[in-house]
Structure 1
Amino acid sequence: MGKALFVTEKPSVAMEFIKLLKVNGKKSDGYVEGQESIFTWCVGHMVTMCYPEAYDIKFKKWNLAELPFLPKEYKYDVIPNVKKQFDTVSRLLNRDDVDVIYVCTDSGREGEYIYRLVDQMAGTPNKVKKRVWIDSQTEEEIKRGIKEAKPLDQYDSLAASAYLRAKEDFLLGINFSRLLTLMYGRKISEVLSENHVVIAVGRVMSCVLGIVVNREREIRNFTKTSFYKVNVELKKEENAFDAEWKAVEGSRYYESPLLYNDTGFKARNTAEELVTSLKPAELALIDEVKKTKETKYAPLLFNLAELQNECTKRFKISPDETLGVIQKLYEKKLLTYPRTDARVISSAVAKEIGKTLNKLTKFSYNPSISENAMKIMKNNWTKDIVKSKYVDDSKITDHYAIIPTGEGEGAVRTLGKLEREIFELVVTRFLSIFFPPAKYSKLSITADIMGEKFFKSIKVCIERGYLDILKNDSKEDDDNSYLWLNELRKGNKLKIGQFTIKEGETSPPKRYTSGSMVIAMENAGKLIEDDDLREQIKGSGIGTSATRAEIIKKLININYLTVNSKTQILTPTIKGEMIYEVISSSIPSLLNPILTASWEKGLKMVYEKEIEPSNFMGKLEDYTRNNIVRVKSQNNINLLYRKLLNVKNTYGPVEAK
């Protein structure tokens, strides 16, 4: 009987497998060998796509006549600095005494791609190959993954989507970067006073640049508008409250052009006229008192994008830094797989969730975690979780939401401050879904003064529920000083106090932070603030959970965007805006979030076997070819030059470099 070969993505993961499987093996250069099994590792990507000059040396020189570059067969090569380890893995894959290969790279599209390229470059050895698909690196999960490993060919559609993603980025990057650099790079160099400018174009990268530039221009072109609201103080004995006027049906100002909106006027003098007309009144009549109850449940669990956004807001760190921390927490067996788009858990996980909670009751280093876990268990709050909104198999593709494993209480004690804070953020969100909902009493009062309506709404939390554990998520007013309003009834009369006119002004849209950009990318360019609405409309986004942080980082590194290290606010650079102008004037579809998201949706359809890979590839090549032919025939250099000068004038003088 031959040996089993385990191939992981990193050496640290291989060592974890060896430790958990209790393999007593001999360590060699690049692998560890036991009596029945061998463990080796990649070091991330070890194989990459070749540049055009590998196909023909003539492609080394950029030439418009040679575009589009659309190879019939794609070439790959081993990355030079990891060739030694590749040779080790390749030799082991082809060893005669190896009968079965367990693919243990990260359970996702990129992890699949990493192994498939190595397997391809090693000659696609004819062995039994099984895929280990796990959601955490705990002993229980690793053993389950090995036991339930499926034949590798069951993941062929995932591999096909991975190959296509790489070919898409390669074709668009190589062709469009060369095309636009050759046609317009000299003009940008001239305007920026730089010796040479390469216009870097990417399927997702260019789209993100467009989102940031468009937002910056909205802010730049924004004109503040003042408006004026009318409030009145209404009194009952010792108590009083402020009510706000609104131009509802029956008001003399209903749908008037004098309104800014139905609660304010465009001009102060119109607000003053309303106040003057109402001052003779001494009493206000209560028209309506409406009481309602509201129940609010804890937010959904974290996926990668939500956690990155939350960490940017709380800790002012980049999405890339967040990913680095939670990847480390995953490797320490503290959290489940981080590169996930799901915000729910599976029904299978939900049925076993009591085990995780039981382990968390022993986290004595943090009494809050252990006490809340015990509270959940004691009150049997897990009994209905399977039927809740937090469990939905239909919303899970590769992995479920990021949750604690319950393992590694000792490891937590070794974490740095930020690592511990992020870990506790995930744990707290997880525990909160078992707590009862928060309950509110809502009161809406309508008062009439000479036919004009004034409104007051209050919302009081009467049962905190999950807010006891997610204290920072409580944005509601817990002030009970207005409880006396519950005594008011329709027909009551209140004394009229002081009228006030409040001036307000419109605000420009907010700039994106690196965290909110990840959310916008997840939602095809829409920055949706409401948590529940965001989940409802979520479809195919721009990029993937595994790549979004890296794309933002790349745009900063190539000086198309800048990021404020303290606030994480993103703004375009002068070069970034000029690149935007070039793309906008030549291949504007690259800036379209919906179109960019549709490419990602196409890759998902390949994975789900809804379309053939050849169909996707044909559309990709047509898109590349058609845009190159069209741009080559354009004669817009003078118009573009004026736009570049306008950008330069917006930023002021540019020093020669």
Structure 2
Amino acid sequence: MGKSLYIAEKPSVAQEFAKALKMDMRSYNGYREGEGAVVTWCVGHLVTMSYPEVYDMKYKKWSLATLPFIPQEFKYEVIKSASAQFQIVKGLLNREDIDTIYVCTDSGREGEYIYRLVEQMSGVKDKKRKRVWIDSQTEEEILRGIREAKDLSEYDNLADSAYLRAKEDYLMGINFSRLLTLKYGNAIASYLHEKYSVISVGRVMTCVLGMVVRREREIREFVKTPFYRVLAKLNLQGRKIDAEWRVNPDSIYFQSPKLYKENGFLKEETAKELIVSLENLPMYVEKVEKKKETKNPPLLYNLAELQNDCSKFFKISPDETLATVQELYEKKLVTYPRTDARVLSTAVAKEIHKNIGGLRNIPGMRPFAEEVLEKGTYQNIAKTRYVNDKQITDHYAIIPTGQGFGALKSVNERGVNVYEAIVRRFLAIFYPPAIYQKVTLTTAVTIEKASEKQQKEQFYASFKVLADAGYLKVMNYSFQKKKTAAKEDAESSESGEEIGDEDLLAHISSLKKKDLLDMEGYEIKEGETSPPKRYNSGSMILAMENAGQLIEDEELRAQIKGSGIGTSATRAEILKKLVANKYLALNKKTQIITPTLMGEMIYDVVNASIRSLLNPELTASWEKGLTYVAEGSITSDEYMEKLTNFIKSRTSGVLGLNNQYLLRGQFDKAAQFYKTKK
């Protein structure tokens, strides 16, 4: 009887498989072996695509005459630094006593690609090949993955999309980087007084650069508009509150060109006019409205949402978040991190009590886990919005496994904090919504006019009080400082609502129509319109996930989510590369992203030559096409034909341009914002 070979992506993962198999195994150079099984590993990628000069030495020298470079068949080679491990894996793959290969690389497109390249270069024949697809590295999940492993051929479409993604990045990178460098590199180099300049272009990278540059230019071109709000100072049982004026159909300013929106004026004089017309006139209650507001627990974390929150909470970059959550995954504390889904599968929902039960081992989380289990709120989770098989492609959301707590002692403070964020987000879904009682007070002043229609000016004040904390009681992060009362007041006034107390709400609720109010005068509050916000590392990842749109509202993000730009596995690396290339600057303290002068110049070059590379919708459509290949909706040949036509047509278009001299004006325009102090 032959042996089974288990091939993992990393040595640490191979070790977990070897443990799970519960077999007496001896360690050898690059693998472990027992009576019925051999476990080996890659070290990430062992094989890569060959450079153009491997096809023909004429491609070594960059020349417009050799573009576009589109080989009929692609060549691959073993990475020199990994050649020793490749030879070990190749030998094991072809060993006569091994009849079944279990592919245990990461369960995703890139993991599939890593193994397929190794198999291709090893010339594997006549072996049974099975694909292990797991969501965590717990022993239970590993054994389930092995038990339910499908034939590798069922993942052929996924492998096709992986090969195409690599070919696409390779062809666009080589052709467009060479093309634009040869065409415009001298223009950039001479402007910057450098010997030469290489223009690095990528399918996703260039699009992201465009998003940042466009945002920076929007901010520069933004013209602030001042506006003036009028506030009535009321005294309600000793509690001083502000009520804001808003226009209404009976106001003298209804549909007036003097207005700034519905609650302010473009000029201070107009605000003063209003106050003069109201002075010494009584203010009375027009209406009191009471309503209940509910706030549901947020959806679970996918990688993009976690990277966004970690940018806000801890001021760390997306690649630092990914590295941290990857460590938590490898220590069996959380499920697979490179996921786009924010929900659970129905299969996982049936067993979710195990994850919750395990969290009783964490002192700070024990009361919540016990409450969920005691009340049984997990039992109906499959009927909620937190479980949806249709919203899951490769993996469900990032959640705690309920295991691996021994390893938590070896995790640094940042890792513990990220783990806490994941655990609290997970437990929250088993709690009811938070409920607020909200009261809106509408007041009015009537100006009697003998010959004209009666004039009425209205003021509004809203208050809310937390009636039932619901899931919010789970969300008190230990790593966050308690908000000061001043900060809470500032935040509430910005949103147009104040956090009231129950006595104040009761008093407002008791007011009747036409009741007179105690007034202490009026105040003019000056404000100004705000420019668009710069991206930070977290909001950039969210914008990439949503095909270039920075959607602040979480519910809306969940509804319109598509394939986006890049994937959960690659977005952080793309951002990191742009910073390493000095096209973007990342402030480590604030995580704010801004372009560099070089980045803006590259943007201007691409905008003048291959503008479509800056289009987020087009870039997202390429990613969507790869998804269609993985689903089997379109063939590899169809996708490849579209790709080669795109490269040929854009290359031809740039070769026919003669616009280098026009860029000087664009460079000058950008450079004025980067002049250094002498």
- Does TM, normalized by the shorter one, top 0.5? yes
State the superposition RMSD in angstroms.
1.5
Alignment of 1:444-463 (within 5 A): 444-450=440-446, 451-463=456-468
Is residue 2:504 matched to residue 1:482?
yes
Alignment check: 8 A CA contact 1:11 1:41 kept = yes
The residue type equivalent to 1:93 in the other structure is L
User: One-letter code of the match for 2:463?
Assistant: I
- Give the residue type in structure 2 aligned to 1:440: Y
Report the alpha carbon displacement of residue 458 of structure 1 after superposing the two structures with TM: 1.4
Distance in 2 (CA, whole Å) between partners of 1:645 and 1:227 is 34
Percent identity for Structure 1 against Structure 2: 55
Larger mean CA deviation between 430-439 and 284-293 belongs to: 284-293
Q: How does 1:508-527 map to 2 (within 5 A)?
A: 508-527=531-550
Q: Deviations over 1:410-458 (max 9, x none)?
A: 1112221111111111111111111121101111222121201111111
CA contact (8 A) 2:69 2:175 kept: yes
1:418 and 2:423 correspond: no
**Where do residues 107-146 of structure 1 align in structure 2 (5 Å cutoff)?**
107-146=107-146
In structure 2, stretches of 5+ residues that fail to align are 447-455, 493-497
In structure 1, the residue matched to 2:368 is 372
- Distance in 1 of aligned mates of 2:651 and 2:530: 41
Q: Which residue of 2 aligns with 1:49?
A: 49
CA distance in 1, matches of 2:194, 2:538: 32
Deviation at 1:236, TM superposition (A): 4.7
> What is residue 496 of structure 1 aligned with on the other side?
519
TM-aligned CA deviation for residue 654 of structure 1: 10
User: Is the counterpart of residue 617 in structure 1 residue 640 in structure 2?
Assistant: yes
The amino acid that maps onto 2:529 is T
Q: Secondary structure at the match of 1:368?
A: coil
- Cα drift, residue 362 of structure 1: 2.5
1:654–1:115 Cα change, 3 Å = farther
Question: Which residue is equivalent to 2:433?
Answer: 437
Residue by residue over 1:498-538, the C-alpha shift from the partner in whole angstroms, topping out at 9 and shown as x without a partner, is 11110001122111111111111101111111111111111
Kindly indicate whether residue 384 of structure 2 is the aligned counterpart of residue 388 of structure 1.
yes
User: By how many angstroms is 1:257 displaced?
Assistant: 1.1
Structure 1 residue 496 displacement after superposition: 3.0
Residue in structure 2 matched with residue 161 of structure 1 by the alignment: 161
The aligned amino acid for 1:142 is I
Q: Deviations over 1:624-646 (max 9, x none)?
A: 11111111111211211221232
Hey, what's the Cα distance between the residues in 1 that align with 2:204 and 2:648?
19
User: Which residue of 1 is the match for residue 106 of structure 2?
Assistant: 106
166-175 or 477-486, which moves further after superposition?
477-486
Instruction: Say if 1:32 and 1:39, in contact at 8 Å, map to a contact too.
Output: yes
For 2:74, the equivalent position in structure 1 comes to 74
Deviation at 1:649, TM superposition (A): 2.9
Q: Which residue of 2 aligns with 1:219?
A: 219
> Using a 3 Å threshold, how does the CA distance of structure 1 residues 654 and 585 change in structure 2: closer, same or farther?
farther
Asked whether the 8 Å contact 1:191–1:645 carries over to 2, the reply is no
Cα drift, residue 239 of structure 1: 4.5
Tell me how far apart the structure 1 counterparts of residues 211 and 613 of structure 2 sit (CA, whole Å). Answer: 11
TM-score between both structures, scaled by the size of structure 2: 0.94
State the one-letter code of the partner of 1:464: A
Distance 2:406 2:236 in 1: 60
Task: Indicate conservation of the 8 Å contact 1:193/1:654, yes or no.
Answer: no
- For residues 587 and 240 of structure 2, the distance between their equivalents in structure 1, rounded to whole angstroms, comes to 45
The letter for the 2-side match of 1:515 is G
Q: Corresponding residue for 1:261?
A: 261
2:471 aligned residue (443, 463, 466): 466
In the alignment, what sits opposite 2:90?
90
SS at match of 1:262: coil
Matches of 2:387 and 2:615, distance apart in 1:
34
Matches within 5 A, 1:152-301: 152-236=152-236, 238-281=238-281, 283-301=282-300
CA distance in 1, matches of 2:583, 2:235: 58
Question: SS of 2:369's equivalent?
Answer: helix
Distance 1:31 1:457 in 2: 67
Q: Which amino acid aligns with 2:628?
A: M
Equivalent position of 1:557 in the other structure:
580
Checking the alignment, whether the CA contact within 8 Å between 2:244 and 2:459 is kept in structure 1 is yes
| CA deviation map 1:37-74 (0-9, x unaligned) | 11111100111111111111101111111111111111
Code of the aligned partner of 1:645:
D
TM-score by length of 1: 0.97
**Structure 1 residue runs without a partner (length 5+):** none
SS at match of 2:439: strand
The structure-2 alpha-carbon separation of the partners of 1:397 and 1:447, relative to structure 1 and needing over 3 Å to count, comes to same
1:137-168 deviation per Cα after TM superposition (whole angstroms, max 9, x unaligned): 00000000000000000001110110110011
* CA distance in structure 1 between the aligned counterparts of 2:511 and 2:558, rounded to whole angstroms: 39
Deviation at 1:240, TM superposition (A): 4.4
Contact 1:522 1:538 in 2 (8 A): yes
Match of 2:355 in 1: 356
Correspondence for 1:303: 302
Compute the displacement of 1:291 (Å): 1.1
Comparing 128-137 and 216-225, the one that deviates more: 216-225
Moved more, 152-161 or 489-498: 489-498
User: Which residue number corresponds to residue 453 of structure 2?
Assistant: none
Aligned to 2:20: 20
Instruction: Tell me if structure 1 keeps the 8 A contact 2:463–2:500.
Output: no
Shift of 1:234: 3.0
What is the identity, as a one-letter code, of the residue corresponding to 2:383? K
* Structure-1 separation of matches of 2:93 and 2:236: 85
Amino acid at match of 1:54: V
What's the secondary structure of 2:517's corresponding residue? strand
Amino acid in the other structure paired with 1:177:
S
CA contact (8 A) 1:285 1:494 kept: yes
Cα separation, 1, equivalents of 2:315 and 2:669: 33
1:334 corresponds to which letter in structure 2? L
Matched-pair contact (CA < 8 Å) for 1:228–1:265: yes
User: Quick check: 1:192–1:654 contact (8 Å CA) kept in 2?
Assistant: no
Q: How many residues end up aligned between the 2 structures?
A: 651
Q: In structure 2, the residue corresponding to 1:162 is in which secondary structure? A: helix
Task: Quote the residue 2:452 is aligned against.
Answer: none
1:357-412 C-alpha deviation (Å, 9 max, x unpaired): 1121123xxx2211210111112221221111111111111000000001112111
Separation (CA, whole Å) in 1 of partners of 2:156 and 2:57:
33
Deviation (angstroms), 1:237 = 5.2
8 Å CA contact 1:305–1:341 kept in 2: the answer is yes
Aligned pair 1:326/2:325, yes or no? Answer: yes
Return the alpha-carbon distance in structure 1 between the equivalents of residues 45 and 224 of structure 2.
50
Structure 1 pair 654–85 and aligned structure 2 pair: CA distance change class (3 A): farther
Instruction: Supply the AA of the counterpart residue of 1:214.
Output: R
> Which digits, 9 at most, give the CA deviation of each residue in 1:596-617, with x for residues without a partner?
1111111111111111111111
Letter in 2 for 1:261: K
Query: Which residue type is aligned with residue 537 of structure 1?
Result: I
Q: C-alpha distance in 1, partners of 2:343/2:464?
A: 29
Shift in Å, 1:571: 0.9
